[in-house]
Structure 1
Amino acid sequence: MNDSYLNFVNSPLGARLARSLGWPLPEVLRRYRADRPEFDGLVAIGAGREPRLLDALANLVASIGVTSVAHESAGLWVPLATRHGLMTGRFEPAEAGSPGKLAALLFDASGIEDSSQLAPLHGFFHDTLRSLGKCGRIVVLGRPPESCASPRQWTAQRALEGLTRSLGKEARRAITANLVYVAQGAESGLEATLRFFLSPRSAYVSGQVVRIAAGGFGGHGDAGGPDSPNDAAGAGVPTTPAFDWSQPLAGRRAVVTGAARGIGAAIASVLAAEGAHVIGIDMPSARDALDATLRQLNGTALAFDIAAPEAPAQIAAALDEQGVDIVVHNAGITKDKTIAKMTDAMWQSVIDINLSAQERIDDALLAAGILRDGGRIIGVSSISGIAGNLGQTNYATSKAGVIGRVQSMAPHLRARGITINAVAPGFIETQMTARMPLTLREAGRRMNSMSQGGQPVDVAQTIAWLAHPGAAGVSGQIVRVCGQSLIGA
């Protein structure tokens, strides 16, 4: 849906008027386009004491082909970059305030073990933030607090969450800020996640905390023991099958429910663009739209009512011969009323389609081995499932249940190398939000750090990252696609 206010304030007259009246000034987000470079510009590197992830950062910088500059806090970066054959230089504090000079800020906080060692974070962001251009990226790297060797280290690492989320709210100009906790031994599983957070694919994802675990699995409590200065990068991480970064899902089969239109169609399109063969599922009543969507993607359309008792067996039978690698549970409905006015049927239909159907379908696919080992399960939750919402007790219950599925199933699936995660969209511009009253729609758009609604493609790109073969260390995670919404923050 068209955002008239966004368009107006990005015109010369609108921008002047908004500044004079103190109105929000949302930037047009830079989203991924195949005809434009995914990575470009200058990346500034900072670090705390004894940084342990600089080697992984050097490999990333070499892989994506950007130029780096080292802040004084990252004294080890220049000789390390030289050994990797990278173009690099030093960031001079005098350059601070040069708008647009930098495209991204990366800070390695993995070696910080005490609150007294947090000062380099201030120095780095104080010197560099004003030089970060529009649609810039901030990524802070740390160690999972729950794996830390001492309470003081846990305290210092947990403090990074407050810093990162605050940076996302201070930076504005469509800049995102995210925190990635990397378990000891999971260093070689970092690149896919860093690529996502540094690229235009994550345009509407900010203020998030993601864990990458050793052994190819995420979630709380899975990380290894305390660090040592001689971490063996990649130790304990399974070998990831070779893939092409431009087509990482080539040869994989992906199921997407609710694929006929809207967010589901966007998910199907992005997965297909990444190389997957997409099997789209939707209601028989949406058969024409489903066929049209999947025909454009050279995919397969299956018309099933996922809430029907026979649906799991029917879906399993349709997929049995070749199996699948990715299952995306996108289908969902709303039946909004305050609970005092909500009928039993309104309650039950939402729970059944949004939550129980996911459980039944996964049970069928897992029991028959149709979802292959090393596969991906990705659910679509909502910020309503995190914060609740007036008139949506049924919907919020179902979406909180999706989060519960992810957190509870992750440990059970790890033996088969299957990851399970969920995205939690905020205000996304869809047919459903277009029907909202104007005041509620405008509030949903502006109450986030981007001061605008997201697009279906923002949800789809986040799901594609979670489906990526290089994201094997990310499991049990809930990633909000909400522009860092104030709701539930």
Structure 2
Amino acid sequence: MTDTYLELVNTGAPAKLAKKLGLPKPVRLRRTDPASVDTPLTTGPVLVLSDAASTTEADAVAGDLLGWDLDVRRDTRLGEHDRWGAVIVVLTGLGHPNDLSEPALALGSVLRRLAKGARVVTISRTVDRAEPAVAAARNGVDGFLRSVAKELRAGATGNGLVLADGVGVSAPSVRGGLRYLLSARSAFVDGQLITVGTDGGSEPADWSRPLVGSVAVVTGAARGIGAEVARVMARDGARVVGVDVPAAGESLSAVMNDVGGTALQLDVTRDDAAQRILDVVRARYGHLDIVVHNAGILRDKLLANMTPDKFEGLLAVNIAAPLRMNETFAAPGALGGDGAAPRIVSLASTSGIAGNRGQTNYATAKAGIIGMTRALAGQVADAGGTANAVAPGFIETDMTASIPPVPRQIARWGSSLQQGGHPVDVAEAIAFLASPQAGGINGQTLRVCGQMMVGQ
């Protein structure tokens, strides 16, 4: 669905009027083309800053960026007409909150020179088992980064990578996470911190097609986010099997024909759904590596008006089905083949994090997805796999198109980016978490919400 307001305020006279009236002026975000892999990684030179104790690790990060043919600088000097495409702030050596002052102010001095769609990325360490002063400094990065993200303009975003102690800045998942956050693939990810818990993962032979050799199943693939997940995964090299109910068979076939995939008409609430999926995929491709639990329904009602069929029916599709299927998919040897590590990615929601009026059933199910993901992470890690979730915020889909115009526009303005996301934004996050370079990221829920002003 088109955001008419966004289009208007980025053209001629309406743009001038919006500025005069002090109205929000969201910009068109820098996104990838789902059919192309040639989108530049950044829009300009990259500045690498650090605290005093992190110089060595900052040098290593700068070296990695140079290996990607980026223009990397270590000081804030810039040509008169140039703009920073990204600023990376390495804060792995913080020992006290005071240590954050110098790099924070250095970042502040260049914010007015950011290019449209620029990226700010912090790299810090987890609080786990740190002594109080160190823990205070490390946790301070969280509040600092989220606040910076809310100050950015012109489609720029701020996100962070949080490394467990012992994980090097050049570990595959750190490099992979950094590349994702710098790229146009993360257009609607803002104010988020991704924890890299291990040195696990591996770098793809081709960064633009990291899923080559993998086989992925996407449930609810006939339309909306599921269809876009199928397209992005196929673009990234995966062979895709799309699953949806028989009633959506025509749409499902069209999507799978478009991506050269396989359509499987199946109700995921069936007790044998997972085994049927495995049997079909193994017969056709020999192995299954990636499962994306996307299938879901909405049955919105205030709790006072909620009926058993609306509450229990939604739970059956949105959480009970993934739980039952994972009993099969997470079993030893079920997923993975030809060197690919198992990946399970599930669709949560910001409603499951912060709640939402009229969505007690939906928020219950999506919070359940987050809990399921955390519990599943250890189980699949034993096989070298990962389980993660993606929590979309307001995304422009057929479902959100049914919201009345005024509430819909207010919902768009509720994010730091002052607009709704697109299905491709969610798909890009899922494809990243399913990739080999995300192997050190496990049990996480990544919000794709433009930093909505709710929850975390």
Shared fold per TM-score greater than 0.5: yes
Look up the equivalent residue of 2:52 and give its one-letter code.
R
> In the alignment, which residue of structure 2 is the partner of 1:47?
50
- The answer to whether 1:337 aligns with 2:301 is yes
**1:213: how far off?**
1.6
SS in 2 for 1:210: strand
Q: 1:36 & 1:195 partners in 2: Cα distance?
A: 13
**1:445: how far off?**
0.7
- Residues 16, 274 of structure 1: alpha-carbon distance in 2 compared, 3 angstrom cutoff: same
> In the alignment, which residue of structure 2 is the partner of 1:452?
419
- The 5-angstrom pairing of residues 121-140 of structure 1 reads 121-140=103-122
> In the alignment, which residue of structure 1 is the partner of 2:163?
182
**1:63: how far off?**
2.8
> In the alignment, which residue of structure 1 is the partner of 2:176?
192
**1:61: how far off?**
1.0
Q: Is the 8 A contact 1:99 1:132 kept in 2?
A: no
Q: Is the 8 A contact 2:198 2:441 kept in 1?
A: no
Q: Is the 8 A contact 1:320 1:370 kept in 2?
A: no
Percent sequence identity over matched residues? 40
Q: 2:204 & 2:183 partners in 1: Cα distance?
A: 21
Look up the equivalent residue of 1:481 and give its one-letter code.
V
Look up the equivalent residue of 2:70 and give its one-letter code.
V
SS in 2 for 1:146: coil
SS in 2 for 1:423: strand
SS in 1 for 2:73: strand
1:63 to 46, 61, 67: 67
Q: Deviations over 1:181-231 (max 9, x none)?
A: 122332212111001000111010000011112242xxxxxxxxxxxxxxx
| TM-score, normalization by structure 1 | 0.88
Q: Is the 8 A contact 2:40 2:183 kept in 1?
A: no
**1:370: how far off?**
2.3
SS in 1 for 2:304: coil
- Residues 109, 43 of structure 1: alpha-carbon distance in 2 compared, 3 angstrom cutoff: same
Q: 2:59 & 2:74 partners in 1: Cα distance?
A: 14
**1:357: how far off?**
0.5
Q: 2:447 & 2:82 partners in 1: Cα distance?
A: 27
Look up the equivalent residue of 2:72 and give its one-letter code.
S
Q: 1:242 & 1:206 partners in 2: Cα distance?
A: 25
Q: 1:242 & 1:424 partners in 2: Cα distance?
A: 25
1:367 to 328, 331, 343: 331
Q: 1:316 & 1:102 partners in 2: Cα distance?
A: 47
Q: What number of residue pairs does the alignment pair up?
A: 444
**1:101: how far off?**
1.3
Q: Is the 8 A contact 2:332 2:383 kept in 1?
A: no
**1:328: how far off?**
0.5
SS in 2 for 1:15: helix
Q: Deviations over 1:279-332 (max 9, x none)?
A: 100001111111110011111111000012232332232234422111100110
- The 5-angstrom pairing of residues 271-350 of structure 1 reads 271-321=233-283, 322-350=286-314
**1:117: how far off?**
1.2
Look up the equivalent residue of 2:2 and give its one-letter code.
N
> In the alignment, which residue of structure 2 is the partner of 1:38?
41
Q: 2:245 & 2:125 partners in 1: Cα distance?
A: 44
Q: 2:433 & 2:129 partners in 1: Cα distance?
A: 23
SS in 2 for 1:302: strand
Q: 2:196 & 2:82 partners in 1: Cα distance?
A: 31
- The 5-angstrom pairing of residues 19-418 of structure 1 reads 19-33=19-33, 34=36, 35-51=38-54, 52-71=56-75, 91-92=76-77, 101-148=83-130, 150-187=131-168, 188-189=171-172, 190-216=174-200, 240=202, 243-321=205-283, 322-367=286-331, 369-372=333-336, 374-418=341-385
Specify every segment of 5 or more residues in structure 1 that has no aligned partner in the other structure, as ranges.
72-90, 217-237
Q: Is the 8 A contact 1:99 1:131 kept in 2?
A: no
Q: 1:102 & 1:65 partners in 2: Cα distance?
A: 16
- Residues 99, 201 of structure 1: alpha-carbon distance in 2 compared, 3 angstrom cutoff: farther
Look up the equivalent residue of 2:355 and give its one-letter code.
G
- Residues 276, 59 of structure 1: alpha-carbon distance in 2 compared, 3 angstrom cutoff: farther
Q: Deviations over 1:108-131 (max 9, x none)?
A: 100011112111133211221111
| TM-score, normalization by structure 2 | 0.94
Q: 1:430 & 1:474 partners in 2: Cα distance?
A: 28
SS in 2 for 1:459: helix
Q: 1:314 & 1:448 partners in 2: Cα distance?
A: 40
**1:100: how far off?**
5.4
- Residues 198, 147 of structure 1: alpha-carbon distance in 2 compared, 3 angstrom cutoff: farther
Look up the equivalent residue of 2:74 and give its one-letter code.
A
Q: 2:129 & 2:181 partners in 1: Cα distance?
A: 23
- Residues 394, 14 of structure 1: alpha-carbon distance in 2 compared, 3 angstrom cutoff: same
**1:375: how far off?**
1.1
What is the root-mean-square deviation of aligned Cα atoms in Å?
1.7
